[in-house]
Amino acid sequence: MDDARQLCASFLSKIHEQLDGSQHLISLLPANCVDWAPGRLGNWTVGILLGHLLDCMAGFCAVLYSFEKQRLAHFVNLQELPVNHRCLPDEAASRTETYRRHIDEGFALLTDTDLSRVVPTVFVKQGESLLTLLLGNLEHLINHKHQLFTCLKLLDVGVATQDLYRFRE
């Protein structure tokens, strides 16, 4: 492995782990559960949660685009894809793969040194490091993946800890 990309490769591996875990949980959804929501009023339906998971994944692409607008100019086309909408499991699975390909493409341009580069954002005009932004997106994805796991438990799907985490041998 190229020494200038070891951290990036490790980080991308962790993103893949979360995308794989999300895909796995999506595949366990029972038929016709898209409009189900946990008991309290105001909770998202499973379909809306799936649409929000897509938004989490799109966030990585937005950060990578802000880092390298010229070489990733085509990432702008991702903005045409709906997020935060009532999403069916098949669409969520397919779009996860679309985002994975784009995330891989963006990470292929990064070196470990780039992770400290400051990128302006909508929220912080003076900018934040690329690493901080990517970690924030990873946290966002992990939190909502866990929310999907909780929905599956409430739907009496036999999920366990190994469905949520990748155990290393």
Exposure class string for 18-41: b at 16+ Cβ within 10 A, else e: bbebbebbbeebeeebbeebeeee
Structure tokens at 124: 């912080």
> What's the pLDDT score for residue 120?
84
| DSSP code for 35 | T
CA distance 89 to 112: 35
Residue-range domain boundaries for the chain: 3-30+42-164
pLDDT tens-place string over residues 65-123: 999 999 999 999 999 999 999 999 999 999 999 999 999 999 999 999 999 999 988 88
pLDDT tens-place string over residues 34-51: 999 998 767 899 999 999
| pTM to 2 decimal places | 0.94
CATH code for the domain defined by 3-30+42-164 = 1.20.120.450
More confident: 66 or 3: 66
DSSP 67-104: H-TTTTGGGGGGGGS--SS---HHHHHHHHHHHHHHHH
